[in-house]
Structure 1
């Protein structure tokens, strides 16, 4: 690219917009950030539309024409909102975008204003150099990913699906970043995991009902006890191993590269042998049911008639029915369940021309890159776009130095991104978007 410094400035300017999303509709809003994005695109000769799903909840959608309109379009999507940041916990002001120690600091630096800046940088460079991508690019900078997407990606796909017509593949968070590990012989290996799947989200509300009464008296129908017993059963349940194509391929290819034995009949043993690479897969070999919130009672000497709890449930592709049947079997007497959120799992082909193109773009900038597919344990806006028939990949390329706590910084304190990592990511993205 002609001037990779632009990506650092663009990322800093995006970070300085406070787009905090506290959830449940409580948000600072994305409007100013969206106007900035639209302005950069318009400056590059790309017509951009700002669509508000509610006051200040702004989304930006644009289409960059490619050289061959007969080719399917690629969707490039990222979110403009960020999770809250308590400034008293941070070394710097979370929205200052301060440059320090070779990094750009601020909320959203790795989740995911860095990727949004890379996209803007590439599009600006295309205009400056008179280049065009091989195929149409549909760009979406959306609101509300850090909650449920009701004001962002899900709203767009429900209300304006025509904006994504012709898109057959998409890239967004979270993949394509450097993950340093060691082979069995001690050799350093740079993995670059590319997301080809993600677990589904099935957040549950459990309601236990019982008999209200005085706290000093025996009560065999205590709603609090019923709820706690059920939550303990869910938390303690050992879910069976289910190897999806993405996880199977990750284990096999990573194990081969690291020179360790891979036994798919003993996945836990295989994970142990993978060492530092194991965290990329250990949360996605099983479903999970994790209690996270409790609410019951109003006075210490009163047994309430009901109690509620929320359970963060994550579901591997193809296992939804079996998981819910097992959950129902673990519910205690007087306990009912209902969905708070249900978004199915997402899967894209592990072996595809798109995966090969992403691997090639990474290896062009890092010849020793080992690119492997993996399944994301959490969820992204891919859940909104996949039902449109779009294969969604986690690919937001970023170079990271060894020891950099990347996975801990998303939503964490002192979030920051290496400046050289941004420049690397912009170069990789340029290769993918122009040539693929």
Structure 2
């Protein structure tokens, strides 16, 4: 639908007051953002991000910035703004965060999932971790700059986007396709899923995502001879499909050491004093205990059968049968993944690609990574910052098409007993108040000094 003039569509009275320090407004902003229902149930079934986007734009405008509201479709709303740095010749840094959330059933929660309630030291609600916390921390930090008389060294581009919880077709992917000029000069981007505390044996690790596995969604089609159910045949499409799915599910994928996983194992092993044998990766992962779990998720390609479909009547042998598979490939392993699947299909079974998103990776030993590490250590001197590979994916893949190296860096300091793995998309999602404030200060330092 094009651009919407923020001067005429955004009510600045809805924005938060400008904070006077980077973490002052983080909690209130997170609570308010959660109160906007931006549920995304998948393609064609979304509440939309409109009101949340208007609030973000109003908050930025009140701080003196010039946000642009862009709608890819009715109510599928994105906000982008560029904050000029002190040196226009330096490459720009992108911060991207999505406004949509997955569904939540209020009957399963102890608080309403869109209440944004603050209690017991937490902000509660859908999106508290995934990822309205990041939206709030970024807003709290950058909106404090004018009142503190500060400017970043380089241009900072902020993108609050729609639709990440589906395919990004109305958010990051649309912006990259239709408005690449908004990201002119950006060479690095930070987004979700990294920079949070991961404590093991008294060592506080902060894994920063430097790679993401790719997504390869497949549909299998088995063909056979249709007939009466009372007359079994060897040419049965359902049997062919079932055997193919069973072979694929049982396949033992070999370990493949990517640069990110290699560096993670070596650096974590050094910090914990655990011997690392890269010729015995599985043994090393076991010896690392809880720390090894992060590496285990990204040692191999994986595939999960998720949907089956065949037949229309119990006494009719169908001529075709279908299955859908969720495949994830490591960086550089996409061809091996597809070749392996093809070898497991068997006669009479074909496959087609429904969705293909290549894996991405960013430099580990880079000034960008070191700047993130320094920002974390400024708030936690004992932080051990390590790279890791995400098992899933984020909008970083869309921005990679513009040559933007993506890092998962949404910093949080978390309590030792905090069940992070069950928070994103889970019941009673919540984020620690102190963690939010910590993250806002870390992001403030990173964005000002990088």
Identify the TM-score tier after normalising by the shorter chain: over 0.9
Instruction: Note if contact 2:22-2:441 (Cα within 8 Å) is conserved in structure 1.
Output: no
Give the equivalent residue in structure 1 for 2:251: 237
2:274 to 252, 260, 265: 260
Partner of 2:323: 309
Aligned to 1:126: 145
- Report the secondary structure of 1:96's partner residue: coil
Report the counterpart of residue 199 of structure 1 in structure 2. Answer: 213
Picking from 60, 65, 70, the partner of 1:51 is 70
Out of 130, 141, 150, the position equivalent to 2:160 is: 141
Does residue 286 (structure 1) correspond to residue 300 (structure 2)? The answer is: yes
Cα distance in 2, alignment partners of residues 110 and 213 from structure 1: 52
Structure 1 residue runs of 4+, over 3 Å off?
A: none
Deviation at 1:40, TM superposition (A): 0.6
1:98 correspondence with 2:112: no
Aligned residue in 2 for 1:115:
134
Paired residues, what number? 431
Measured after TM superposition, the shift of residue 3 of structure 1 is 6.1
User: 2:85 — aligned with what?
Assistant: 66
Give 1:36's match in structure 2, choosing from 36, 40, 55.
Answer: 55
Aligned to 1:374: 388
Gaps of 5+ in 1: 183-187
Is 2:51 the partner of 1:21?
Answer: no
Equivalent residue number for residue 3 of structure 2: none
Q: Partners of 1:293 and 1:281 in 2: how far apart?
A: 28
What is the TM-score of this pair, normalised by structure 1? 0.97
Checking the alignment, whether the CA contact within 8 Å between 2:22 and 2:142 is kept in structure 1 is no
Note the C-alpha offset of 1:220. Answer: 1.2
Deviations 1:258-277 (A, max 9, x none): 11111111110000001011
Partner residue, 1:385: 399
Match of 1:209 among 217, 223, 247: 223
- Alpha-carbon distance between aligned partners in 2 of 1:396 and 1:69, rounded to the nearest angstrom: 25
Alignment pair present for 1:365 and 2:379 = yes
Any idea what the Cα deviations from partners look like across 1:291-327, whole Å, max 9, x if unmatched?
1111222222222221211111001111111111111
Unaligned runs of 5+ in 2: 1-19
Looking at structure 2, the residues matched to 394 and 122 of structure 1 have their Cα atoms a distance apart, in angstroms, of 18
Alpha-carbon separation, structure 2, partners of 1:36 and 1:210: 56
**TM-score, normalised relative to structure 2:** 0.94
- Tell me the secondary structure at the aligned position of residue 21 of structure 1: coil
Residue 431 of structure 1 aligns to a residue in which SS?
A: helix
Match of residue 17 from structure 2:
none
Q: Which residue of 1 aligns with 2:171?
A: 152
Task: Output the CA distance in 2 between the equivalents of 1:417 and 1:294.
Answer: 37
Residue of structure 1 aligned with 2:433, choices 393, 404, 419: 419
